[in-house]
Amino acid sequence: MKDTFDRKIDYLRLSITDRCNLRCRYCMPEEGVDSVGHGGVLSYEELLRIAAAAARLGVRKIRVTGGEPLVRKGVVGFVQQLAELPGQPEITLTTNGLLLGDLAGELKQAGLSRVNISLDSLREDRFEQITRRPGLQRVLDGIHQAAAVGLTPLKINMVPLRGVNADEIADFGRLTLEHPWDVRFIEFMPVSGGLGYSDENRFSAQEIMTELESVGPLTPVERSGPAGPARLFRFRESLGRVGVIPAVSNHFCSECNRLRVTADGRIRPCLLCSDELDIRDALRAGAVDEELEKILLNAVIAKPKQHRVGEKDYQEGRRGMQQIGG
Ligand code: SAM
Ligand code: SF4
């Protein structure tokens, strides 16, 4: 699929739940989480029909996300069905890692190719401060288990926040000296209002680079294959790589290759624009495959050239990241 700006769209992010077993302050509020409820969330059958339609239209990679995807019952079987779709798209998953220790082996067997794990602090007290829940050791166990069963190359995503955890950027960077992991730093995005942090907490890509350079000289890594949003670097003799995702300060919209489906069946052409297309109603009204394909194509056409964060008239959206899937 090509959009109006000649970008090839071959990547689908499927949110399978808006529920989560953490409450990260930059993502969702502690209370009043507006869960869409059981009937509102797409069933696995409905999600599979969307994924199959996308695969027929040329989608080659599907990422399962949430909320926390591993809290939804039946996720392993669902991953297996995705992996068996015609064309065998690559299946990946983004998780907070809490349940990964238990599920990594089964997920690998089911056909998952790799995982991204979100982790924002290596200190238990801070982990709990940011996520409002304990669990650092479980996440670390999950990371090691995922590596052990071969859900690799493993990626760790950190959102550095000024005055909160930005002083741990160097420690996260040092993980790549001993582990063959990609540790990626993502600029905080003002997706929705009412969160624990604001623009002032955003640590910019430039500031992240300065912190990383305190560990040692960095060499840029040539990108091979499809360009992801991260700018990648290596420390001398490191096993892994560090990456910076300048989501806001230097956006990568010209390389955007993705569509997102929310757990309640809306297709979101752009993460940082509130426009959405409904596909749930069509599914529940008995739409045939061609109709689903048409909705996906319309979403591709609706992709804006770029997001408008930072512009005067930019307005934060109604939905938190846990509803959109990141
Ligand atoms: N629960 C899973 C997890 O945390 O990995 C998957 C869903 S989560 C919404 C996906 C990603 O979005 C996570 O890496 C999280 O750090 C990131 N995220 C959430 N809110 C964000 C924000 N305001 N700015 C930048 N990244 C954010
Ligand atoms: Fe949950 Fe992921 Fe959002 Fe944290 S970032 S609250 S783990 S959905």
Residue 110, domain CATH: 3.20.20.70
Instruction: Please state the rounded mean pLDDT for residues 209-233.
Output: 87
pLDDT value for 70? 98
Count of beta carbons in the 10 Å neighbourhood of residue 203: 22
Q: Which ligand is nearest to the CA of 133?
A: 2
pLDDT in tens, 14-29: 999 999 999 999 998 8
Give the residue numbers spanning the domain of 20: 11-324
pLDDT value for 32? 64
Look up the pTM and report it. 0.94
- Burial of 172 per CB tally in 10 Å (0-12, 13-18, 19+): buried
Check: CB of residue 323 under 8 Å from CB of residue 18: yes
Atom number of ligand 1 nearest to Cα 158 = 16
| Any domain includes 31 | yes
| Any domain includes 188 | yes
Dist CA 299 CA 23 (whole Å): 30
Number of folded domains in the chain? 1
Among the listed ranges 97-111, 118-132, 199-213, 237-251, which one has the minimum average pLDDT value?
Answer: 237-251
The larger pLDDT score, comparing residue 76 to residue 222, is at 76
Beta-bridge partner residues of 302: none
Q: Which residues contact 233 (CB under 8 A, 6 or more apart)?
A: 212, 218, 219, 220, 221, 241, 242, 243, 244
| Any domain includes 3 | no
Check: CB of residue 72 under 8 Å from CB of residue 20: no
For residue 63, give the nearest of 88, 44, 82, 40 by alpha carbon.
Answer: 82
| Any domain includes 264 | yes
Which residue do the tokens 């077993």 mark? 21
Instruction: Please state the rounded mean pLDDT for residues 245-259.
Output: 85
pLDDT value for 174? 98
| Any domain includes 5 | no
| Ligand 2 environment, Cβ below 6 A | 20, 22-24, 27-28, 66-68, 96, 118, 321-322
